[in-house]
Amino acid sequence: MCGIVGYVGQADACEVLLNGLRRLEYRGYDSAGLAFFADGAVQVVRSVGKVAQLAERVAAEWPAAVRARATAGIAHTRWATHGAPTEMNAHPHADESGRIFLVHNGIIENYASLRRQMEGRGHHFLSQTDTEVLAHLVGECYRGHLFEAVAQALKHVEGTYGIAVFTAEHPGEIVVARNGSPLLIGVGTGATLVASDASAIISHTRQVIYLQDGDVAVVRADGVDVRNLDQIPVDRAVSHIDWDDTAVEKGGHAHFMLKEIFEQPESLQNTIRGRVDLRAGCALLAGLNLTPREMAEVNRLVLVACGTSLYAGMTGQYAIEDLAGIPTDTEQAAEFRYRNPILGPDSMVVAVSQSGETADTLAAVREAQRKGALVAGVCNVVGSTIAREAGRGVYLHAGPEIGVASTKAFTSQVLVLLLLALALGRGRRLSREEGIKLCQEINAVPALVQRVLAQDGAIAALAGKLVAAQSAFFIGRGVLYPAAMEGALKLKEISYIHAEGYHAAELKHGPIALLDAQTPVVALLLDVPGRDKTMGNVQECLARHAPVIAIATEGDTEVAALVPDCLLVPRTGTYTAPILAVVALQLLAYHVARLRGCPIDQPRNLAKSVTVE
């Protein structure tokens, strides 16, 4: 979604800001803008479309010599919520006096009433945004001291925000604040940066301060002063980011998505490193911070998540119920939070989120905490809001995921949930021998994924069968049912082909009416419980002339004989099979989208981290 970059330093602010915005492009946006200070004044440039268009405007309007003298500024990529993606609605927005400039991520919920009140006091608004209202509010509170004005204005605001505010009257400082929208400060040498996402500033510094909700900070080239809204100083530690800018570059691949698909043997290895105790047949999950007794007392589990993470949760649910014998539900996070869920102190709620910032999943975490449940996060982004607020959990360690379509996070999520099932299971009904067998299976996954990736050429050929389709079905049973939904999600989001993931048994309860020779069915027929029944469902599809693509287990001659368009993946255990199936489906979706010429890393309308409800 929206992205923020800010810089206070010696020179070349424009270049730093534009490069930062380029690094945030993956988040999804529809307009961009920046404000920089040079030669005694703040200049604002905004543009609809891509950062490249903004950069062209900046270069056309400001000579290189002026840009080189820019010492500070703020910049933004906007994903439209209030008002269409127009230049007028793009950030930065100015206050009534035109002195104060502000960029904002999040939503000001009471903006309409604030706007009405200010219009009554003679304010004129140029945009339809909630952000401009906030800029005007800061302007009203401004008496020459920017920090005080921001802190005071924010006391009138309801909603979520990450903001950066800037004025020519104090060109050496940017005031930032956060409530429910991530913001971090990069501490450099002779320069300080601000960003909504570390990838924007990682090429300048790996030393960062993660702001917390309620923080307001003054950022200067030589230091940072963090306070709360009552202006009382608060202590925020400087953290070191343990990845560098090579992690946010394509590394020779055509797209980030492809790079991340191919990174999976390594990202999965990082996920399991130090967590598999082969001798004891157990999983070591120190971040859960639970004693064996506390683990044993958990008698209900709820996994909450959205999108791909939801499907990872559904996959994990099979393993947790079967291996640990704990009743487990997986719930769409928005549904969970508004449904008055029944939870108690012996319930554990696990929030699964790559970004750790998804608004609905975060709200579910807060609801679960209010109800007294144990809450844990399964997040990828270190220091993210869900990871911090859950207070306990397991990081994926999959590395930054830049492609909007989630790939390596899904496979790591499934593996982490399997480790959780193992840890919970060993305290209950799983024997040491069974535990050891599972550990061996988990340890083997990265190499097996490598073997799936080696079939990239064969998968690209199968993609040809889908490329002209208007609609497709993905079917599976048991652990492969959520995998089918994930495969369909990947296809629709990057290739724009309408695709539905269905339980194989459910197809004949309605959707089979849609099958014909133009509607392909991708059937997950790996050798796990349910395979034989799905074979029957495939026969039903073939009888309706639907073209079928199968994914099955190596050596399964029966599937290969029935379905000529068949991809064979290595044999593995029931709970690791969905990982292999989904890696194949990721590549299938990728190649279909590539053949259709789609913008794979930035699909239309999509954002990487969904921070609005």
Q: Which residues in this chain contact ligand F6R in the complex, by CB under 6 A? A: 306-309, 353-355, 358, 361, 405-406, 489, 493, 609-610
* Dist. CA 538–CA 203, nearest whole Å: 51
Separation CA 6–CA 358 (nearest Å): 23
Residue with tokens 């109800």: 371
Nearer to ligand F6R, 146 or 522 (CB): 522
- Nearest-CB residue to ligand F6R? 307
* Strand 223-228 versus strand 192-195 pairing type: unpaired
Residue 90's SS3 state is coil
User: What gap in Å lies between CA 521 and CA 177, rounded to an integer?
Assistant: 49
DSSP-derived secondary structure letter, 108: B
Q: How far apart are CB 113 and ligand F6R at their closest, in Å? A: 30
| CB-based burial, 511-535: b 16+ in 10 Å, e otherwise | bbeebeeebbbbbbbbbbebbeebb
Identify the helix (H) or strand (E) that includes residue 288.
none
CB of 486 to ligand F6R, least distance (A): 8
Burial class of residue 83 in the structure, from the number of CB atoms within 10 Å of its CB (0-12 exposed, 13-18 middle, 19+ buried)? middle
Q: Tell the smallest beta-carbon distance from residue 263 to ligand F6R (Å).
A: 16
β-strands 207-210, 184-187 pairing: antiparallel
**CB-based contacts of 577, cutoff 8 Å, min separation 6:** 479, 480, 526, 527, 528, 553
Residue closer to ligand F6R by CB (options 17, 416) is 416
Helix/strand/coil for 282: strand
In the complex, least distance from residue 76 CB atom to ligand F6R, rounded to whole angstroms: 21
Q: Smallest gap, in angstroms, from Cβ of residue 390 to ligand F6R?
A: 13
Please identify, using beta-carbon distances, which residue of 226 and 396 lies nearer to ligand F6R. 396
Answer yes or no: 306 catalytic: no
Query: How many whole angstroms separate alpha carbon 44 and alpha carbon 76?
Result: 11
Q: How far is the CB of 489 from ligand F6R (least distance, A)?
A: 6
Q: Are 584 and 567 in contact (CB under 8 A)?
A: yes
* 489 vs 551, beta carbon nearer ligand F6R: 489
Give the amino acid at 250.
K
Distances (CA, A) of 2 to 44, 106, 120, 217, 602: 18, 8, 30, 20, 13
DSSP designation for 92: P
Adjacent-strand bridge partners of 71? none
Strand order in the sheet with 161-167: 93-94, 100-105, 161-167, 173-179, 215-220, 223-228
- Residue 130's nearest CA partner among 103, 108, 106, 149 is 108
CB of 577 to ligand F6R, least distance (A): 20
CA dihedral 53, 58, 59, 63 (to 10 degrees): 170
Distance in angstroms between the alpha carbons of the first and the last residue of the chain: 12
Q: Of 601, 269, 582, which Cα lies nearest the Cα of 452?
A: 582
Q: How far is the CB of 482 from ligand F6R (least distance, A)?
A: 12
Shorter beta-carbon distance to ligand F6R: residue 538 or 585: 585
Q: Which of 102, 466 has the CB closer to ligand F6R?
A: 466
Q: Measured at the alpha carbon of residue 196, what is the angle toward residues 192 and 201, in degrees to the nearest 5?
A: 45
Please tell me the distance from the alpha carbon of residue 332 to that of residue 61, in angstroms, as a whole number: 47
3-state secondary structure of 209: strand
Our CB check for ligand F6R shows the closer of 71 and 586 to be 586
CB 499 within 8 A of CB 601: no
**Which of the residues 408, 490, 492, 608 is marked catalytic?**
608
Residues 6+ apart with CB under 8 A from 112: none
> Which entry of 2, 141, 379, 541 is annotated as an active-site residue?
2
Residue 259: active-site member = no
**Least distance in angstroms from the C-beta of 418 to ligand F6R:** 18
Minimum distance from residue 108 beta carbon to ligand F6R (Å): 22
173 or 601: CB nearest ligand F6R: 601
**Least Cβ distance, residue 474 to ligand F6R (angstroms):** 14
- Distance (Å, whole) CA 410 – CA 423: 20
Helix spans in 204-306 (H): 256-262, 264-272, 292-297
Question: Tokens at residue 97, please?
Answer: 């006096």
- Phi/psi region, residue 399 (left: phi>0; alpha: psi -120 to 50; beta: rest), is left
Indicate which residues carry an active-site annotation. 2, 608
